[in-house]
Structure 1
Amino acid sequence: MLSTILRGIIIFISSLAVFSAQQAYASKEDHPAVSRYEGATLKDTGVIHYKKILVPVNVVPGTEDTELIEVIGKITAHGYLLEGNKSTLEVGLNYKQVIEKLGAELLIDCVDKLCGYQPLDFYWQSWANYNSLVVDDNDDDTRFLVAKRATDKGDIYYQWIITNVYDGIIGIEQTIIEPEALLLDQVSVNRNISVQVEQTVLKAAREDIEGSHDHPVISRYQGAYITDYRQREFEKVFIPTGVAVNQVAPVITVEGKGTTIGYNLSNSQSSLQIYQNYLSALKAAGFDILFTCNLATCGHALLDDLYTSDANKFRFHPVETNNDPDSDFRLISAKLTTANKAIFLLVAIEGALTSNDINKIVVDIVEKSEMNTAKVTIDPQYLNDEITQKGRVVLHGLNFAFNKSQLLPSSTASLAAITEYLTLHPKQQFYVVGHTDNVGSYEINTQLSKARAQTVIEELISLKIDKSRLTPIGIGPVSPKIANSSDANKAENRRVELVLQ
């Protein structure tokens, strides 16, 4: 009785009614528009949203001249095995009847070499084939069908590959590409939030690793969970601005507080959709987009070329750093400049290739700043010892705004110690000498170093020190304490000294 009822069911989806030419054996595992072939067993299935795929629409028999078009939409792949000594011809003719019932246009109907090779060769590398491996491209009877149905929401494409897997067993690979709008607003950016405030963690498919959280500036993609997390108070970060040439990537080098967050996300979202969400959110928040790339346009091993040490390469986990040009890889680098901060950001996406895989995302953020040296303090006795022995002393604890001559509030304790020493030695006169590292031009560094020396003098004058005792000098990068070969060394070279006259 049940079998009789099933044979009479016509499945309506968006005014679409389709069933196999013999019997309709629909299942919730099948596509709602096209049932499985009678007696077929579902071996694998996969669904991905807003995925870009190339669809063959025309072949020239016996040649490799195949016309491919680019389609974006929801892709549903089903792999079936059919027993019962059917032929690929018989099964293929049944699916041709399905195309007629759909009211679709038959674009391709070919067998093996008459397909012109490329449609089948292309399919073996496609997302759908990765997700449902039931067909065999080595069989001479492999049949390939492609059809298109126009709807008011866009064209739907149907693709079947039918082959002899082995004696008496037919493999049926079905791929349906349906038009689908891009799902946006899955990532949010807050350009006004204080970087010290933590953003509320969004609900994720799984728990985040212990001690991790989203960066306050940019949220996770909805449904993602954190698998890797690292944060450093001060580090050097490379932000790519183009494709690497001879394994050297063009970069902007930024020093400051670095945060790297690795996420995993369900494979139901295509890398294209993830990429477009991040890109749209960053643009809407006023970020300047420095560089973007997709798939092969990113070149080979773009992330791998940024750093030479294994420790730094691991920062991009779980995304593979040696991205192959054929991998589903996408990247965005961006910059946000406001009145009081500069933030650089990198988003790397490695899309899932199979239904057993998962999307991987890394967000690398650096908040540009100078190294905080407030942990190093001075006192009048230290100043006296250094000046007595060397005739000069480094004024530790004087902290300036990035690339400016403005002293930060954290300098108060050191200014008080300097004032106390000068008050105890009223007859001494000093050069107040500003130094920089070697980043930037000589002219700019010289001006900056003198401006910082002048700022120190003005602060001391406000604390009742006679200005005639102090002379500002700026010598920029010409007298480093140590080679400018590391971030720590450069921080040590950025200093202000008192030099006894």
Structure 2
Amino acid sequence: MYYKILKVVVFFAVSIAVINGQVSYAATAADHPAVSRYQGATLKNSAVIHYQKVAVPISVVKKTKDTQLIEVIGKVSTYGYEIDNNRSTLEVGLNYKQVANKLGAEVLIDCIDTLCGYEPLSFYWRSWANINSLVADDNDDDTRFLVAKRVTDKGDAYYQWIITNGWDGIINVEQTIIEPEALLLDQVSVNISAPIGHIQTSLTTSQDDLEGSKDHPLLSRYQGAYITNYQQREFEKVVIATGMVNNDNQPTIEVEGKGTTIGYELTNSQSTLQIYQNYLTALKAANFEVLFSCSMAACGSRLLDNLYDSKANQSRFRPIRAANYPDSDFRFISAKLSHSNQVIYLMVVIDGAKSSNDSNKIVVDIVEKSEIDTTKVSIDPEYLNNEITQNGKVVLHGLNFAFNKAQLLPSSTASLTAIKTYLALHSKQDFYVVGHTDSVGSYEVNSQLSKARAQSVIEELVALNVDKKRLIAVGIGPVSPRSANSNDANKAENRRVELVLR
């Protein structure tokens, strides 16, 4: 059971009035409830993102690059305003400084031009807020910069204003407010009891899902996301990253089985950090073993490029198409679950919005580990007789085993019945039941597995009243392949059981 942590947003009871009435008493619905727009200002852009990590400057040293930054996580609200009534950056800055005083906030930085240090806004362009900025400009000699901190019982709130000269006497104001906020969980759920193949109803979103797509029954979508890409394959090989790239070497494992890849898009009001933490929390709570998880630079350079290099993974991460770089808003999880004789691997890839009009991208890639299904090839007594008469042996198509185990699956019933009928028609013949494997794994393990599978076939036939004395189990592992073990199809052909005339 998940425990929901309600997100806490600090709201202020009233808007603040400042000197000369330049900031009005009542904020409009489009403004932040704590700080109204400057009188006569026009709102050009605004955005809100939840549980976002941002860098906040708390001190500067004039004429140097020594800007001290701290990382703050919370609700980030940004507003871009234009003021076109011939105000100066000095006058506007004094208004907003008094806003900070009336809020009871401590002014940490109040500077202009080089007094803010060289490239005073370079940190801003590395922050989330810049993707929504239409007005801030760090190239003006008259740029004014204000940062204030307000202590609350929920944590510290930060207020930041960038005030610049624009064109034709217009003043540009970029306002960023960061408020303490708890992580909103329970946006992703795992259902390990759902049978594979069960169709889960798509959740209602503000946009329609891709036609014919659906969530995987194991893992829900992040609340509010919608499906833009969908692909499901009955059997394939998938390359899964298990560690950070080192000297251009990406640690991976290869998994074969049923693959489902779902691409989602989600509003940029949710930070990639919050999305990532929701998936990670849900998977851990469901006893997934996390193989590798990373954020941004910790993912290494070009993780997706390394996975794309594998033919098995080409084009599977849409709608995420760009390579990840150390400064990308990118996060990744790979995990494994063993449950009810089934092994499941998955990858979750998250890529942040690139602009205010863009959306977050999420790809969930789930692989249900299995061996290739050969039930599409059937046998009958006549086929068995023809093969044994001509070759003295026959491949027993349609015998399907649990992955890497000797247990026969229920889908083998039709073939077992055909073998039993053939043996009853040729009661004087005795046979070897010979198990074969591909070359993956050690010789010892494959030899044991091949004999165990041959023995399982004999036991099932004995249960159908075949005389046990007529059959001898033999396991020869990988030493007699039908084809080179160079690709998945050949390996599947080499994993077989044969009936050999004694």
The answer on 1:325 being equivalent to 2:326 is yes
Cα RMSD after superposing both structures: 1.8
5 Å-filtered alignment, 1:264-343, equals: 264-308=265-309, 312-343=313-344
1:21 aligns with: 19
Counterparts of 2:385 and 2:173, CA distance in 1: 87
User: Structure 1 pair 217/466, CA: closer, same or farther in 2 (3 Å)?
Assistant: same
2:127 aligns with: 126
Give the letter aligned to residue 173 of structure 1: E
Alpha-carbon contact 1:319-1:361 (below 8 Å) kept: yes
Give the letter aligned to residue 404 of structure 1: K
Counterparts of 2:280 and 2:17, CA distance in 1: 41
Alpha-carbon contact 2:238-2:312 (below 8 Å) kept: no
Give the letter aligned to residue 116 of structure 1: G
The answer on 1:480 being equivalent to 2:481 is yes
Q: What is the TM-score when the length of structure 2 is the normalising length?
A: 0.93
1:499 aligns with: 500
5 Å-filtered alignment, 1:47-446, equals: 47-117=48-118, 119-308=120-309, 312-446=313-447
2:6 aligns with: none
Of stretches 172-181 and 419-428 in structure 1, the one that deviates more from structure 2 is 419-428
Q: Secondary structure at the match of 2:379?
A: coil
Q: Secondary structure at the match of 1:177?
A: strand
Give the letter aligned to residue 83 of structure 1: D
Deviation at 1:223, TM superposition (A): 1.0
Give CA-to-partner distance per residue, 1:273-310, whole Å, 9 cap, x none.
11111111111112111111111211222122113367
Deviation at 1:250, TM superposition (A): 1.4
Counterparts of 1:52 and 1:320, CA distance in 2: 24
Deviation at 1:321, TM superposition (A): 4.7
Deviation at 1:57, TM superposition (A): 0.6
Please list every run of 5 or more consecutive structure 1 residues that lacks an aligned counterpart in the other structure.
1-11
Counterparts of 2:229 and 2:180, CA distance in 1: 35
What count of residue pairs does the alignment treat as equivalent? 490
Deviation at 1:118, TM superposition (A): 5.4
Alpha-carbon contact 2:110-2:144 (below 8 Å) kept: yes
Give the letter aligned to residue 96 of structure 1: K
Q: Secondary structure at the match of 1:303?
A: helix
Alpha-carbon contact 1:304-1:313 (below 8 Å) kept: no
Q: Secondary structure at the match of 2:287?
A: coil
Of stretches 101-110 and 348-357 in structure 1, the one that deviates more from structure 2 is 348-357
| Percent identical | 69
Alpha-carbon contact 2:57-2:67 (below 8 Å) kept: yes
The answer on 1:41 being equivalent to 2:39 is no
1:31 aligns with: 32
Counterparts of 1:344 and 1:14, CA distance in 2: 46
User: Structure 1 pair 20/36, CA: closer, same or farther in 2 (3 Å)?
Assistant: farther
Q: Secondary structure at the match of 1:315?
A: coil
Q: Secondary structure at the match of 2:268?
A: coil
Counterparts of 2:312 and 2:398, CA distance in 1: 31
Give the letter aligned to residue 75 of structure 1: V
Counterparts of 2:404 and 2:473, CA distance in 1: 18
Give the letter aligned to residue 19 of structure 1: A
Counterparts of 1:282 and 1:321, CA distance in 2: 26
Q: Secondary structure at the match of 1:473?
A: strand
Q: Secondary structure at the match of 1:286?
A: coil
Please list every run of 5 or more consecutive structure 2 residues that lacks an aligned counterpart in the other structure.
1-9
Give the letter aligned to residue 479 of structure 1: S
Give the letter aligned to residue 16 of structure 2: V
Give CA-to-partner distance per residue, 1:346-392, whole Å, 9 cap, x none.
11111224321111111111111111111111112211221222222
Q: Secondary structure at the match of 1:489?
A: helix
Deviation at 1:424, TM superposition (A): 2.5
Deviation at 1:17, TM superposition (A): 4.5
Give CA-to-partner distance per residue, 1:3-39, whole Å, 9 cap, x none.
xxxxxxxxx9534552342323332211111111222
Q: Secondary structure at the match of 1:94?
A: helix
Give CA-to-partner distance per residue, 1:71-98, whole Å, 9 cap, x none.
0111111111122332222222222222
Alpha-carbon contact 2:239-2:310 (below 8 Å) kept: no
Q: What is the TM-score when the length of structure 1 is the normalising length?
A: 0.94
Give CA-to-partner distance per residue, 1:101-134, whole Å, 9 cap, x none.
1111011112222222354111123221220221
